[in-house]
Amino acid sequence: MRTRPTLSWTPDEDLPPGSLDPGPVADALSAGGVLVLSGAGISTESGIPDYRGEGGSLSRHTPMTYQDFTGSARARRRYWARSHLGWRVFGRARPNAGHRAVAAFERHGLLSGVITQNVDGLHQAAGSEDVVELHGSLDRVVCLSCGVLGPRRELARRLEEANAGFEPVAAGINPDGDADLTDEQVGDFRVVLCAVCGGILKPDVVFFGETVPPRRVEHCRTLVRAADSLLVLGSSLTVMSGLRFVRQAAQDGKPVLIVNRDPTRGDRHARTRVALPLGTALATVAARLDIPVDDPGPLPPRG
């Protein structure tokens, strides 16, 4: 039986209110050994909307599922048309103060690692090096037949050639890089196949309804075991792929701290939830720790 993935969460219990004091986050970082778990909320200040916050994309957009993508040529045409257009915007996104703060904390030896649920590559663009991309990256594409990986920029070039003049105006962009297009705008968009074997190409990301590779999950569990505390940044923790690490840390008696403006599914496991915008909260923390958060300036093209 095919089931739809969990896309929303409503609290069924009274949760503690959020705090406006980022002091506990500063204290945890000053002690070191902090493992960061980031979600879509850390990228909103880079122009990429989140899924579930105020104005989140789920209010207007149902993400593509793995089952739909693999089971329907029409669904793949719709996905690649929207993703191709969205990549033009998504690929130009640049790290914000939140990403730069995380990179600065890493440079100063305060972090044990970063696990991100995002597929935008902005942590690495900001200078973070020890990053696990839990859900993969839109910078890469993979063939579902032969498994070959390739850069997104090469696929973008091939799609441009196959769809000359494709210039619809999208209503918006989503956290998965998917632009909002109507079926009429998608039209007869041409999908290209693997240049090696002719198989179906898919972005190297974990779609809704798809499982995270077990070895990647176990690597993340190892990082949680080795950390002294877990700091969640910009995630509602609605889906189990991220929530399981919060539960693991709490079960191991390790402090869990969350920075997210809205309540999260992990709040009952957390020592505190700081209900401030991430850029504001992390810039304040960095200032308290006397850590400069530098703007890296112009960055090379991505993907």
Tens of pLDDT, residues 45-91 = 998 876 545 544 444 457 789 999 999 999 999 999 999 988 877 77
> What pTM value is reported for the model?
0.88
Nearest to 106 by CA among 134, 127, 137, 133: 127
Mean local confidence (pLDDT), 240-260: 97
241 labeled part of a ligand binding site: no
HSE, side-chain direction, 13 A CA sphere, residue 233: 28
How many CA atoms are closer than 13 Å to the CA of 148, on its beta-carbon side?
A: 13
Of the two residues 82 and 174, the one the predictor is more confident about is 82
Output the six-digit token pair for 99: 């990403």
Q: What are the chain's domains?
A: 20-48+95-135+211-294 (3.40.50.1220), 60-92+139-205 (3.30.1600)
Is the Cβ–Cβ distance between 90 and 48 less than 8 Å? Answer: yes
Phi, psi of 40 (to 5 degrees): -60, -25
Residues 196-220: tens digit of each pLDDT: 999 999 999 999 889 999 999 999 9
* Rounded CA separation 181/85 (Å): 9
Cβ neighbours for 182, distance < 8 A, ≥ 6 positions apart: none
How would residue 158 be classed by pLDDT, with cut points 50, 70 and 90?
very high
Does the annotation mark 269 as catalytic?
Answer: no
Nearest CA among 11, 7, 5 for reference residue 262: 11
**DSSP 8-state symbol, 41:** G
Q: What is the pLDDT of residues 263-289, one digit of tens each?
A: 999 999 999 999 999 999 999 999 999
What pLDDT is recorded for position 258?
98
pLDDT averaged over every residue in the chain: 88
Say how many Å lie between the first and final Cα of the chain, rounded.
Answer: 37
Per-residue confidence (pLDDT) for residue 153, from 0 to 100: 93
Percent of the chain with pLDDT over 70: 88
Closest Cα partner for 303 from 119, 118, 76, 129?
A: 119
Rg (C-alpha) for the chain, rounded Å, is 19
pLDDT for position 178 = 78
CA distance 161 to 141: 17
Would the annotation count 50 as a binding residue? yes
Please give the pLDDT value at position 61.
55
Annotated catalytic residue, options 99, 123, 135, 269: 135
pLDDT over 80 at 4, yes or no: no
List the one residue out of 59, 73, 71 whose CA is nearest residue 171: 59
Distance (Å, whole) CA 174 – CA 48: 7
Q: Does residue 170 surpass a pLDDT of 70?
A: yes
Q: Is 30 annotated as a binding residue?
A: no
Q: 46 labelled as ligand-binding?
A: yes
